[in-house]
Structure 1
Amino acid sequence: MLALISKHSSLFLSMAAVIGFLFPALSSAALPYLPYVLFALMLFTLMGIDQRALVQAIFNLDAWGYACVHTIFTTVIICAFGFIFNADRDLLLAMTAVCATGSLFATPAIVRSVGFPPLKAMAFTITSTLLMPLVLYINMFLFSGEAFSLDLQSYTLRLVIFIIGPMAISYFIHQNVAHEKLSRVHTKLAQFTILLVFSFPFGLTGQFRWLWDEQRDFAIAMLILAFAICILFFIIGLVLYWRKGKDEAFVAAITSGNRNVLLTYSVAGAFLGPLYLPLIGALQLPIYMQPMIVKAMLKRDSKRAAKA
């Protein structure tokens, strides 16, 4: 059963977003537990990564260059569009918070499911996550207005819990548990990891459903905006990395489109303004549709190559 779920994970992730939308009360009930699920997912993912290879990849300047594209460059582009279309401050705050957000920790698994090696995606995910606190703080300072005030003690504590914590625990485990034993344990844990990922689209789309019921026109506008943001991020990654080869370009595009918006919410919470939760709820469907679209694109290209 788990093998079947993993094989069709792209479809099930999109279905989880739809189910969360259809049952908003259940989705909202799951929302408070998602930070705990996020912590477990980050830890389980890091436990399965070769630490030496990951450290080498992280210290590669290319990974940090990608992180700057993922967070800073996308912030500049989104701000430019926001000013052109005269977006209000709350919407700009929500959008730039999404820009600052690192990639999903499920991204390596998603990249692997599409058919690409996951190590580069993991390096991109780690560096964009490490850069996130700084870019997020700057974006909140710029777009929260004169009333901006951030409890740095709480902010730092959340960073330690949700980012540094899983990394430190994973490092400790790798240092003190034999590789063979850890590999056996992680093989079993990995079967359940995809089930944890399903909880994110399910638990976040309920916030969008409440907006849909109360302000239908505005909700539709937010959904269109969510699709536009995901498409823009995907195109940015694809175009900027195309010269490095199709494989790396698609890895960068998928990583850029996947955003760990729950981590940003866990770190900054109410400081992100009233539109952040509705926006990230709307983002769930386009985010988790991306693997299906990439698979379809690659399948079409392979058919064309076979005919040629």
Structure 2
Amino acid sequence: MSLKLISELLCIPRAGLGFLGRQGTRAVAASAIAGLMLPAFSEILRPWIPHAIFALVVLAFLRVEPAEVARRFKRPLLIAVVVAWIMAAVPFAAGLAAHAFGLEAWSPGLMLALFIVTAAPPVMSAPAFAFLMGLDGALSLAVMVSCVLVVPLSAPFVAGFLLQDALPLEPLILARNLAGLLVGAMAAAWAIRKLAGPARLEAARVEIDGFNVVLLFIFMIAAMDGVVARIWSDPLLVIAITSLSFAVAGLQIVLAYLVFARLGRADAFTIALATGNRNMGLIVAALGGVVPDVTWLYFALGQFPIYMLPMILKPVARRMATGAPAL
């Protein structure tokens, strides 16, 4: 086999990743639907969810230059306020509402789902989504990284408030699992950046976005374990939980945008998207993937807003991106 042929063969997967990366939000939304079409693989891939989450974290740290993130940290008080909103204000407000309506007694599984969807940091793909939507990925990554660093400390306190004794894992073990996953991912990203160099990473941005799409697709297939069977056995429950997940994500987005609107439309919308799209998989992975059926159903169906809202909201994001940045 000639070197030319070998080179051409090696270019095929890179070209495929580049195509997926250029398709952006459309490819991500399509992967959500495609994940439902492969239920036979869901059970096989479910144990790999923690590994997919780990890889997505690594890609998130690779996607934006550290200098750009450092520029955003020149306003540390503002980043701290955003993190406090996402990681403390939102989950505690949700907890007060849930306790007021007696959700913990009516459905402990949904109460655990509420913990997962509000205690989690923004999705690791938030910077990639921001780039794909024409928004500031550096701001998104700065917020996401800050929330990720905080979550091992904040999640146990949120769990204590929301779940009290119903947490399926000791708070310290939850914190340890989250910290271990994040430190490992940061170390892996640092090693890759050192080996590849900034120039190669810059040249491979589109391919990295494409690989992100592939990982999201694999993650979606794994998350759909048991969901297709539920669609046939209890379609009304599936519709209700899907609608609820869109409503929760939408409410978080709208409230965050209103709270931070004074920062400028583009930055406020970037923060709002990070607030509404939470990395539930990170918390589920830290819990060992062992959650009640209703909680798993919400976790699985809650991926649809994450995968589809970037495409749905992209026209809005383009208009927002014309606003002058506040930072």
Give me the TM-score of the superposition, normalised by structure 1.
0.85
Deviation at residue 116 of structure 1 after TM alignment: 1.3
Are residues 45 and 270 of structure 1, via their aligned partners in 2, closer, same or farther at CA, if it must alter by over 3 Å?
closer
Deviation at residue 165 of structure 1 after TM alignment: 1.1
Higher alpha-carbon deviation: 129-138 or 79-88 = 79-88
> 1:2 matched to which residue of 2?
17
Are residues 271 and 21 of structure 1, via their aligned partners in 2, closer, same or farther at CA, if it must alter by over 3 Å?
closer
Higher alpha-carbon deviation: 205-214 or 10-19 = 205-214
- Return the letter of the residue paired with 2:316: M
Question: Could you tell me how far apart the structure 1 residues matched to 2:188 and 2:38 are?
Answer: 35
Question: Could you tell me how far apart the structure 1 residues matched to 2:320 and 2:212 are?
Answer: 30
The answer to whether the 8 Å contact 1:34/1:200 transfers is yes
> 1:155 matched to which residue of 2?
174
Higher alpha-carbon deviation: 90-99 or 242-251 = 90-99
Corresponding residue to 2:49 among 29, 34, 37: 34
Map 1:211-290; keep pairs closer than 5 Å: 211-269=230-288, 273-290=292-309
Question: Could you tell me how far apart the structure 2 residues matched to 1:141 and 1:274 are?
Answer: 21
> 1:94 matched to which residue of 2?
113
**Secondary structure at 2:302's aligned position in 1?**
helix
Displacement over 6 Å in runs of 4+: none
Deviation at residue 228 of structure 1 after TM alignment: 1.0
Question: Could you tell me how far apart the structure 2 residues matched to 1:166 and 1:196 are?
Answer: 15
- Return the letter of the residue paired with 2:90: T
Question: Could you tell me how far apart the structure 1 residues matched to 2:189 and 2:315 are?
Answer: 35
Corresponding pairs, count: 302
Question: Could you tell me how far apart the structure 2 residues matched to 1:273 and 1:52 are?
Answer: 42
Task: Report whether the alignment pairs 1:195 with 2:214.
Answer: yes
Question: Could you tell me how far apart the structure 1 residues matched to 2:22 and 2:205 are?
Answer: 18
Unaligned stretches of 5+ in structure 2?
1-15, 322-327
Corresponding residue to 2:128 among 109, 129, 133: 109
Are residues 182 and 12 of structure 1, via their aligned partners in 2, closer, same or farther at CA, if it must alter by over 3 Å?
closer
Unaligned stretches of 5+ in structure 1?
303-308
Higher alpha-carbon deviation: 266-275 or 179-188 = 179-188
Give me the TM-score of the superposition, normalised by structure 2.
0.80
Deviation at residue 30 of structure 1 after TM alignment: 1.8
